[in-house]
Structure 1
Amino acid sequence: MNLSVQIFISLVLSVVVGLVLGDGAAAPVKTWIAPIGTMFINLIKMMIVPVVFCSLVVGMTSMGDMKKLGRIGVKTLCIYMVTTAIAIVIGFAVAGVIEPGVGMALPTDAAAPKVKEAPSIMQVFVNMIPANPIASMAKADILPVIIFALFVGAGIVSVGGKRAETLISFFDASAEVCYKIIGMIMKTAPVGVFCLLLPVVVQNGPKVLLPLLSVIICMAVGSVIHAVCVYSSLTAVSAHMSPLTFFRGMSEAMAIAFTTCSSAGTLPVNMQNVQTKLGVKRDIASFVLPLGATINMDGTALYMGICSLFIANVFGIPLTVDQMMMIVLTGTLASIGTAGVPGAGLIMLAMVLQSVGLPMEGLALVAGIDRVLDMFRTCLNITGDAAVAVAVNATEKE
């Protein structure tokens, strides 16, 4: 049976079993099932830094040209910013039709959860340069690892000769070993996905989800619209790739992202899929995807559009066109400003609410179902990374 089918069956099975068991089984599930899911995530996370570093060094040496790297970087950033802005607009459109939060009674004990302050844009740039590359690797800070790998690749190119060929062969072989290990880990994916999703279904049963079902429906519908319309159009126009081919190639990575809620955690699987199934060259995949895992947040942008309108509806505050435009602008820029920050979704939403004067207490309403919404966010984020990689790859074919 195809691995994607196995993962899908385990997804469905985890939902069914979780609903049958109910919240009464939360304690044993947390004790015996959840740790197996954590072990699966750790296996994937184990490969993030090695595969990103080795692939990026090999990609850099195969380019052999800083001009080409700059050209790819500009294209990638521009497409990421445009798709992020479109995602917020789609979020507004879907929420405008479904109208989540209209007529909803506001809990009297609602208090805004504590959200870490987002770093300034200059601090993000400062943090990109690793004072200690090994420490950055130990903490799995992707942006500093990308910068260090680019310098290592550029250094190897400048050295040239037999010594450079030796290093290139070493990193090339290391990258291939990483992909083989990822293949081994993915064979355990059906079990890992089941053990990850079952505790979520048990803890967030119908009692928690039903009052905010309209928000979850908005998120699901918006994610499907954005993926089908924006990403399919992007890959079809740039690479003449059919939507069926694209989504079939992405099915494994999308399932892993949906259950782990981690763009960085899905990165090794995503890098393998886009190269082996979507035909993206390694030098492009190794640059576009790690960058996308940290700064491309289409799913989070969609979530901001939906949640800001939901909070406005709950508090009975009509949003003006100017406020909506401010949310689009703030959300697009915030996607870079919160790069690599844990809980980036809530940080970005807090920044957006503050920019248009919506009550911060609204964060408490969506915080309870944030884990469920995060599944859709992450899945859309990594799908967008792959779509941009396919598009950039198509434009760079000699």
Structure 2
Amino acid sequence: MFDIDRWREIFQSINKNRLRSILSGFTVAFAILLFTLLFGIVSGLSNSFKSAFADDAQNAMFVRVWQTSKPYKGLQTGRTIQLKNDDFNYVKDEYESKIQYQSARIYKNFTLKYKNEANSYSVRAVHPDHQFLEKTMIDEGRYLNEKDLQEKSKVIVIGRLIKADLFGEKPALGKRINVNGSSYLVIGIFSDEGGDNEERLAYIPVTTAQMIYGNNDYISQINLGYNPDLNLDEAISFGKQLERDLRFKLNIHPDDQSALSVRNMAEANKNVGSFMAILYAIVILVGSGTLIAGIIGISNIMIFVIKERTKEFGIRKALGAQPLSIVWMVVQESVFITTIAGYLGLSLGTYLLSLIGDSLEEDYFIKDPSVSTGIVVGATVVLILSGLIAGYIPAKRAANIKPIEALRAD
């Protein structure tokens, strides 16, 4: 129940010890301000890492090949490694239980033309699973499917910006465009979180590309999505096993990093997770240390306040005041100072983060530095507990003083 007399006494005590209250509150406010800024910056770094991989599935793996840099089994250095459909099927059959998605990729650069509009774009020949590996979002129509692969259909899925370049505001779905001299049916328009470059891509069936552009079974890359039931360590182990097996199959030296690589998002996620955990631990350590200093400061202030009010407390007890009422009054004052100071620091920290957020992203690639609602709620709980701790010990001492000793105190 709200007791106006109690609050009047609290404000009178704060006003009487104005400088001490301000100094103790400043320590708490600075602690929360520092914590907010540090946590916001670390959160911004985390957002930057997430943004960097926004257009790829978190469980993606990429198998790439180049030229050998070491001789192996009588084969010379400088041999070009070429992936084929056989390698794609080998991976699919050998590791079926560990793979969620799988797609080959063939890179092409073609001129796409519709009526009088034409431009050069990157065209990728892929399997249907590529949609999930690249987190492609279909805005109109559909993505490639198995029937397109089986029939080697001349169909194409174009990015949102290709549609804008070639068709403007006119509909593109169901229209035919010229792709390097061949007519393709537009079956879908997509968008991608990766940004403009990703939305100026086009996708065609891998079988169509192999038939028309080379009449071969070559592929440039194998993309996988490992089974999400695998934890990070299991996924990393799977990636290393896959790399060893492909090196053996393709006659590549085990230590030849130039010829073949498997980029595994599990390794990146684990490294980023460990790095962010260390940063958060540092923030919590620094913030906690500063907050503890603030708690000690407020506790010391309350000791001085109680010493000055010793006679008052003695008279209260002599008139029948319960020890609990004295404890609650002192604790309430401590919680009030801590909470107000803490929220001043939290508000100032949030404001500063919003003020410098754009410059941090431009200069230091720290994206959207901010504190979440959970942090605000957590800060509230910490502040209340801090106020309780800071006020309880001196309040308990004040409540236990005997009235006759209090009246004799100077």
TM-score, length-scaled by structure 2: 0.21
TM-score, length-scaled by structure 1: 0.21
Say which structure is richer in strand.
Answer: 2
Q: Determine which structure has more spread, i.e. the larger CA radius of gyration.
A: 2
Say which structure is richer in helix.
Answer: 1
RCO comparison, higher one (Cα < 8 Å, 6+): 1
